[in-house]
Structure 1
Amino acid sequence: MKDQGRSPKKRTGGRRRTVRKKRLHELGHSPTETRVGETSLKVVEARGGETKVRALSTDSANVATDDGVVTATIENVIENSANPNYVRRNIITKGAIIETAEGRARVTSRPGQSGQVNAVLDSN
C-alpha cells in the first residue's frame, strides 16, 4: 500500500499542524477508468524513473481457458463490484465480470496500471 504521509492526528487524539505541502512523489493521480472501445494507451511516469502504461480504452482481453490463453474480444461489462455505475458506463477494473467472445470472464489484472486486460473464464 502506498504511504500517504504522516497522520494529522496524534496517538492521544490531538491534532498535528501541517509542516509543509505535499512533495511531488507524495501526490496521487486520478484513477484511469478503462472503457470498452478501440484500444487507446497512455504512458505515464512512475516513481524511480519507471513508466506505467495505462489503458484508457480496450476491446480485447487475454482470457485463460482450459486450452490455454486466448485473445478474445470484449463485448461489454456485466458486473463490477467496485462500483455499480461502472457497469452502465462500461468501465473495466480488477474483479469486473466482462462478456467476451469466449464467454463470461473475471478480470484479474489492473488495466489502469498494466495497460492490458487479463481474465479467467467465470464459472457462474
Structure 2
Amino acid sequence: MAIWQGTSVRKPSGARAKSNRNKRKKEFGRQAAETKIGDRKIKTIRTKGGNEKIRLTNEQKINVVNPKTQKVDLADIIRVVENNANAHFVRRNIITKGAVLETSAGKVKVTSRPGQDGIINGIIVE
C-alpha cells in the first residue's frame, strides 16, 4: 500500500468529496526512516530533480550544543527518554526531531531531522 500525501477524500463536514483528478506521482510519500541507536548506517534516496536525501537509520553519536558556553561536543547516545511524536518511540528507541535523549553529556533535545538530514544535532536540556 502506497503512502499518499494528497488532499483528503472527506470534506470538513464529513461528506465524501468529489475528486476532479486522479492521484499524481508527486503526491506519493515514503516510509519513515525511524532512526535507531546503533552502529552508523545511512541510506541515500533520490528526490525530485535528481537531488539526494540522506536517511539515517542507525546512529550512536550526537552533536551536542551547550547554550551557556556555545561549544559543540560529540556525545554517545544511551537511550531515548521522551518523544512527543509518538509515545511508543520511547520504548523502541526511535529518534526524531524533538526527542529527548539521555547521553554521556546529560539530557539532550534533538533539533535536527535525522530521517531527512542524515545527522543528529541537539541542545542540552536542564
2:110 equivalent to 1:107: yes
Q: Name the SS for the 1:52 alignment partner.
A: strand
**What is the deviation of 1:18?**
5.4
TM-score between both structures, scaled by the size of structure 1:
0.85
Aligned to 2:49: 48
Deviates more, 1:73-82 or 1:8-17: 8-17
For 2:94, which of 84, 91, 95 is the aligned residue? 91
- Amino acid aligned to 1:16: K
Q: Name the SS for the 2:18 alignment partner.
A: coil
Deviates more, 1:25-34 or 1:111-120: 25-34
TM-score between both structures, scaled by the size of structure 2:
0.84
Q: Name the SS for the 2:76 alignment partner.
A: strand
Aligned to 1:78: 81
In 1: Cα distance, 2:93 partner to 2:45 partner: 23
Post-superposition Cα deviations, 1:78-113, rounded to whole Å, max 9, x if no partner, equal 111111111111100000000111111000001000
2:12 equivalent to 1:19: no
Structure 1: which 5+ residue stretches go unaligned? none
Q: Name the SS for the 2:90 alignment partner.
A: helix
After TM superposition, what 4+ stretches of structure 1 lie above 6 angstroms from structure 2?
none
- Amino acid aligned to 2:54: V
% same residue: 40
The CA RMSD over aligned residues, in Å, is 2.0
In 2: Cα distance, 1:67 partner to 1:90 partner: 28
Structure 2: which 5+ residue stretches go unaligned? none
CA gap 1:96/1:14 in 2 versus in 1, 3 angstroms: closer
**What is the deviation of 1:71?**
1.0
